[in-house]
Structure 1
Amino acid sequence: MLSKLLKHEFRATGRIMGPLYLVLLATSLGMRVSIQVLNHADSRLLRMLGGVLAMAYVVAILGVCFAAFGLMIQRFYRSLLTDEGYLMFTLPVSVHQHIWSKLIVSTVWFLATGAAVMVSMLVMSVDGTFLPAFIQEIGYVFDAMTAYYALNGTAIVLEFAALCFLGCVAFALQFYAAMAVGYSRPNHKMAWSVAFFFLFQFAMQILGTFLLLALDESPLHHLLMNVDIHITPMLGIHIGMGIMIVGVVIYGAIFYAVTAYFLKRHLNLE
């Protein structure tokens, strides 16, 4: 059933994000043409046109970013917290499947938006000879790498990709948890949602500070300080990435548990 929910969500959100990506690509192409023209022109009209195209490109970037963010909130709100929620919760689907369908779709659009912005910048800023030359240089770099650096470099890229994915999931869950708690209140649900969002942020910051202070005075910290451990820079990078990934997973899991609990036990659609 999760696959059907995902299909429905991608179809509903793709109608908005797809055209926006095309607009972003069109404005980046316009920027590229205007840059090439302005390099060989001395016309006030052309400079004004170039300024308009630059503004349109910036607006397009902001548009796709805000659209991805807005859809994350709008789809969760509309499907689960309004009158439509009565219908959605009568389906033979668990609360967890509802949450994961929203999470997966929102995360995909976040990552796709980041990729679209980078592609648009590449289209805008380079000529036709850049990409082949860049690929060739990357090939030279990989040829010169030893197996040690090639494997570790690949591992770091995969770790960073996992961190980005999990970060997007945790980011969405912060808003889902605040809305789930806010809509358990009898009145002023949206105002409560905003209040709980900032309350959660404050609580997590306080919790993180106390945790760091506790670890600083813990026996484990003193043990590690007295043990002579030689860590290579590459190993240090992997350990740091692993710690960040675990931290993001714990952070997201807390908000996921809050979201699931309030949607199951305390949701007030009236």
Structure 2
Amino acid sequence: MLRKLMKHEFRATGRIMLPLFLILLVTSVGANFSTRGLLETDNKFLDVLGVLLVMAFAIAIVGVCVMSMVVMVQRFYKNLLQDEGYVMMTLPVSVHQHIWSKLIVSAVWFALTLVVVCLACFIMAFDVGFVHQIAAGFRELFQEICRNLSAYYAINGTAVIVEFLVMCFVGCCAMCLQFYAALAIGHSRPNHKMAWSVLSFFAIQFIMQFLGGMGIVLLDESWFHHLLLGWTDNISGMASVHLGMVAMILGEVVVGAIFYVLTTWFLKKRLNLE
């Protein structure tokens, strides 16, 4: 059933995200033409047109990044907390499956947004001579890496990449769950649900900042701080990188788990669709 929910989510969100991606890629082509010729002419009309195309490209990047988050939060709001919620909550699907379908789809769209933005920037900067220089530089770099690469660095490099991807996925889920928890809390109220949701979101942010600050103060000069200082002379730089990545992943998992519990509890016990 989770697969069916994800399929439905991809269809619903794809109607918005795919056209936005196409617009971004089209504006990147226009920005490329601008930087390759329109901005270097003496014609005022072409000069203004070139500036407008570059501005449109910058606005498109910001718009796609913002809309990727807005669409994901809006889907949770409309699908579970508005009129659709009456139907969705009657399906033979658990609340956990509803949430996970939205989290996984959101993480996929965030990753695609990053890929499309990078592709658009590459298209905007595309120049045959420039690309040949970059390719030659990467070829030399790759050959140098292959000459000096050992099993130690190969394994650790792969592990760092995997850890980074896991951290990005968990971070995206934790970020979405903050919005989900705030909306679920706000829609447990009988009136002014959106106002309560906004208030809940800012309250959550305040509590997180407060607890984070208190945690830093309490850890300073604590036994754990001294333990970490003692480790610095006994572990390698690569081990420190792995330790830091794992610590950040665990921190995001804890934060995400807290918001996940809040979201599921309010959706199960306190949801008010009236």
Following superposition of structure 1 onto structure 2, how do residues 139-154 of structure 1 map, counting pairs within 5 Å?
139-147=142-150, 148-154=152-158
Q: What SS does structure 1 have at the residue aligned with 2:37?
A: helix
What are structure 2's unaligned runs of at least 5 residues?
none
RMSD: 1.9
What are structure 1's unaligned runs of at least 5 residues?
none
**Cα deviation code 1:74-106 (max 9, x no counterpart):** 100111101210100100000000001111111
Q: Distance between the aligned counterparts of 1:136 and 1:213, measured in 2?
A: 48
**TM-score of the two chains, using structure 2 as the length reference:** 0.92
Letter of the 1:265 counterpart:
K
Q: What SS does structure 2 have at the residue aligned with 1:200?
A: helix
Q: What SS does structure 1 have at the residue aligned with 2:90?
A: coil
Q: Distance between the aligned counterparts of 1:161 and 1:228, measured in 2?
A: 26
Q: Distance between the aligned counterparts of 1:243 and 1:127, measured in 2?
A: 42
CA contact (8 A) 1:142 1:150 kept: no
Matched, 1:32 2:35: no
**TM-score of the two chains, using structure 1 as the length reference:** 0.93
Q: Distance between the aligned counterparts of 1:227 and 1:125, measured in 2?
A: 45
| TM-fit CA distance, 1:262 | 0.3
Q: Distance between the aligned counterparts of 1:228 and 1:73, measured in 2?
A: 42
How many residues align? The count is: 270
Cross-structure match for 1:119: 119
| TM-fit CA distance, 1:61 | 1.2
Matched, 1:44 2:44: yes
Letter of the 1:246 counterpart:
L
Cross-structure match for 2:21: 21
Q: Distance between the aligned counterparts of 1:201 and 1:188, measured in 2?
A: 20
Cross-structure match for 1:186: 190
Q: Greater shift after overlay, 105-114 or 178-187?
A: 105-114
CA contact (8 A) 2:39 2:47 kept: no
Letter of the 1:166 counterpart:
V
CA contact (8 A) 2:39 2:51 kept: no
